[in-house]
Amino acid sequence: MSVRTLVSDEEASAEVRAVFDDIRETRGSDFINNFWRALAHDPLQLNKVWEELKEIMGPGTIDPVTKEMIYIAVSTANGCEYCIHSHTAAAKAKGMSEAQHSELISIIGMAGKTNHLVTALQVPVDDVFKAE
């Protein structure tokens, strides 16, 4: 149902193939998911988005499972079906337990609720919360 066809390995240019190779090596898996195949019509954009994702989701001060849970949280609030599926799969692959998944969903649901309550009431920000 994409608005663009998905680029297969056979159709991939040398530039696209290089990114696909790096995705495969970085992830230790032969699988290239549809997101990259849809982006591949624009090799430069494919390369930039992959480099950015690799860096931001790579080692840092937040652990890999937490990073995926944050990604699921944003994607849920934005209603991005594909992103919820792909990052839930990634979170599980990186060690998110069933109990953590349930707890994550509870927090997302609670945040969705209080976001709506606060907005409907237009609660003013407390002075102590402001940086300046």
Nearest 5°: the CA angle 50, 52, 58 is 95
DSSP state of 128: G
Residue 9 interacts with its own copies (CB under 8 A): yes or no: no
Q: Is 86 a residue that touches its own copies (CB under 8 A)? A: yes
Shortest Å distance, C-beta 25 to its own copies = 19
28 is a site residue for its own copies (CB under 8 A): no
Distance from C-alpha of 96 to C-alpha of 126, rounded to nearest angstrom: 35
Stretch that binds its own copies, among 7-15, 17-25, 83-91 (CB under 8 A): 83-91
Residue 26 is a binding residue for its own copies (CB under 8 A): no
Which 100-129 positions form the footprint of its own copies (CB under 8 A)? Answer: 100, 102-126, 128-129
Amino acid at 79: G
Nearest to 77 by CA among 101, 108, 106: 108
